[in-house]
Amino acid sequence: MVEAQQEGLDIVGLVTFAPAGGADTFKAHPMSIIKEQAAAMGLLHVIKLICPGEGSNGYVEAYRERIRELREESGADVLVTGDILDVCDGFMARACENTGLHLHTPLWQRPREDILQSLENRKFELVISCVSIEKMGKERAEGLVGEAWVPGLITEEENVDLCGEFGEYHTMVTYVPDLYKRKIGVRGKQALDDTGKYLYFQFSPSQ
């Protein structure tokens, strides 16, 4: 979002695409925190529930339908995402086809070091919200989940993508100077997901 604003785009809202009936099951990115992020930025938070149809293009068509709705309801003409790599066969680009919304990816294929340096320079505050035990190991996951991100926390020596683009880890932004009006409090505990493959931070409700 910061990158898009610097490019002159007027950000009008934060959109979450969520599975119908399962929005509250997000582990890495809990809906309660996303709502707080939108409020902290003074943005409208729009939730678009996805009901995939049948066939190989079921999800794409479901997203496309919701994106068309978004275009009609908001009048926006650009959808900004933080994608860095094409890990889902150009999914979002395909979903935006023939919707009237142009997909903009300001972080696309940027060197990870540059992205992380930008986070440091702009004084982003983030918490590690989820770690793949399969990719990073149980001990490493326990040492990361719930911790604040700091430069050098994840290193190339761990043989993972520095920005977690292959699902190694996820983060939630809790504060950005000149963007958030307030900090998002972080309280909670570590918990395993139902598969036992991921350790995530179970955020407690804000007081």
pLDDT in tens, 70-79: 999 999 999 9
Evaluated on CA atoms 44, 45, 49, 50, the torsion sign reads positive
Read off the pLDDT band of 89 (50, 70, 90). confident
Asked if the model's pLDDT at residue 5 lies above 90, the reply is no
Asked if the model's pLDDT at residue 193 lies above 70, the reply is yes
Q: Which of 82, 104, 126 is a domain's end point?
A: 104
Does one domain contain both 98 and 123? no
Domains contained in the chain, number = 2
Residue corresponding to tokens 């009237």: 100
Does one domain contain both 126 and 73? no
Q: What CATH number does the domain containing 197 carry?
A: 3.90.1490
User: How much is the average pLDDT of 179-205?
Assistant: 93
Does one domain contain both 65 and 33? yes
Tokens describing residue 52 = 């995939």
Does one domain contain both 9 and 83? yes
Give me the pLDDT at residue 54, please.
Answer: 65
Q: Which of 104, 138, 160 is a domain's end point?
A: 104
Does one domain contain both 122 and 36? no
- How big is the chain, counted in residues? 207
Give me the pLDDT at residue 14, please.
Answer: 96
Report strand pairing: 13-19 vs 44-50: parallel
DSSP string, 59-101: HHHHHHHHHHHHHHHH---EEE----S--SSSHHHHHTTTSS-
Does one domain contain both 80 and 8? yes
What's the domain range around 182?
112-203
pTM of the model: 0.90
Does one domain contain both 13 and 98? yes
Does one domain contain both 10 and 71? yes
Q: How far is residue 103's CA from residue 111's CA, in Å, rounded to a whole number?
A: 20
User: How much is the average pLDDT of 95-108?
Assistant: 95
The percent of residues in the chain predicted with pLDDT above 90, rounded, is 77
Over the stretch 13-60, which tens digit does the pLDDT of each residue have? 999 998 876 655 678 899 999 999 999 999 999 999 888 776 668 889
Q: Which residues of 129-148 are buried (b: 16+ CB within 10 A; e: fewer)?
A: bbbbbebbeeebbeebbbee
Tokens describing residue 169 = 């880890």
CB atoms within 10 A of CB 66: 21
Does one domain contain both 77 and 141? no
Does one domain contain both 128 and 99? no
Does one domain contain both 143 and 123? yes
Q: Which of 70, 88, 104 is a domain's end point?
A: 104
Give me the pLDDT at residue 20, please.
Answer: 74
Give me the pLDDT at residue 206, please.
Answer: 63
Give me the pLDDT at residue 142, please.
Answer: 98
- How many CA atoms within 13 Å lie on the side-chain side of 174? 17
Q: Is 140 helix (H, G, I), strand (E, B) or coil?
A: helix
Does one domain contain both 76 and 150? no
Residue corresponding to tokens 């990870």: 112
